[in-house]
Structure 1
Amino acid sequence: MAEVLFYHLTESRLEEALPELLERSLARGWRVVVQTASEERRDALDHHLWTFRDDAFLPHGTDAESNGALQPILLTVSDDQAVNQPHVRFMVDGAVPASLSGYERGVYLFDGHDMEQVSAARLRWTAEKAAGHTVTYWQQTEDRRWVKKA
Structure 2
Amino acid sequence: MAEVLFYHLEQAKLETVLPDLLAKTLERGWRATVRVGADDKLEHLENLLWTYADESFLPHGSAGDSTDHPVWLTTETDLDANRDLLFLVEGAEVELAEIEHLTRCISIFDGADENALNKARQFWKDLKGSEHQPTYWRQSVQGRWEKQG
TM range (shorter): over 0.9
Q: Distance in 2 between matches of 1:78 and 1:128?
A: 22
Tell me the matched-pair count.
147
Deviation for aligned residue 1:142: 1.9
Letter paired with 2:91: G
Q: Distance in 2 between matches of 1:35 and 1:66?
A: 18
2:77 maps to 1:79: yes
- Aligned 8 A contact 1:139 1:149 in 2: yes
Q: Distance in 2 between matches of 1:97 and 1:80?
A: 10
How big is each residue's C-alpha offset from its partner over 1:46-98, in whole Å with a ceiling of 9 and x where there is no partner?
0010000101221101124233xx11000000112137x21000001221124
Q: Distance in 2 between matches of 1:23 and 1:10?
A: 21
Q: Distance in 2 between matches of 1:45 and 1:38?
A: 11
- Note the 1:129-140 alignment, pairs <5 A: 129-140=128-139
Instruction: Report the equivalent of 2:120.
Output: 121
2:137 maps to 1:142: no
Change over 3 Å in CA distance of 1:132–1:47 after alignment to 2: same
- Note the 1:81-100 alignment, pairs <5 A: 81-82=79-80, 85-98=82-95, 99-100=98-99
TM value normalised by structure 2? 0.94
In the TM superposition, structure 1's runs of 4+ consecutive aligned residues that sit over 4 Å from their partners are: none
Q: Distance in 2 between matches of 1:64 and 1:9?
A: 31
- Aligned 8 A contact 1:42 1:62 in 2: no
Q: Secondary structure at the match of 1:30?
A: coil
Q: Distance in 1 between matches of 2:65 and 2:94?
A: 20
TM value normalised by structure 1? 0.93
Letter paired with 2:50: W
Q: Secondary structure at the match of 1:118?
A: helix
How big is each residue's C-alpha offset from its partner over 1:5-41, in whole Å with a ceiling of 9 and x where there is no partner?
0000111110111000001111111001000011111
- Aligned 8 A contact 1:94 1:121 in 2: no
Q: Distance in 2 between matches of 1:126 and 1:46?
A: 31
